[in-house]
Amino acid sequence: MTPGQYMLWAVIYFSCLCSASLANNPRVNFREKEKKILDQILGQGKYDARIRPSGINGTDGPAVVRINLFVRSIATISDIKMVSARSSPSASANEEKII
């Protein structure tokens, strides 16, 4: 056998192994899994995902979400390549509206 044939057989063997392992695992419905967890925590039938969360102090305003952001790295900063979005000819209309 040539090296190409060995490679072909290896690919066929690997694909058979993968398809066999996928066939044995039933599909997981993550929404159903989440619902079961919430039912365990909150009690049966207390949580309804269709209802919007209440705002601060139970008002009907928007829900306040606070996050912490951790920046792992920043790419190099070049004074020469910096261009204002407003003066850039390649800036689209949407970018100009955002700024």
pTM for the structure as a whole: 0.26
Residues 34-78 have pLDDT tens digits of 778 877 887 776 767 676 666 566 666 666 778 899 988 888 888
Q: How confident is the model at residue 23 (pLDDT cuts 50, 70, 90)?
A: low
Kindly state the percentage of the chain with pLDDT values over 90.
1
Report which of residues 73 and 91 the model is more confident about.
Answer: 73
Which residues neighbour 53 within 8 Å (Cβ) at sequence distance 6 or greater?
63
Q: Is the pLDDT of residue 91 over 50?
A: no
Look at the alpha carbons of 83, 85, 86, 89 in this order and tell me if their dihedral is positive or negative: positive
Question: What HEC string does 42-75 produce?
Answer: HCCCCCCCCCCCCCHHHCCCCCCCCCCCCCCCCC
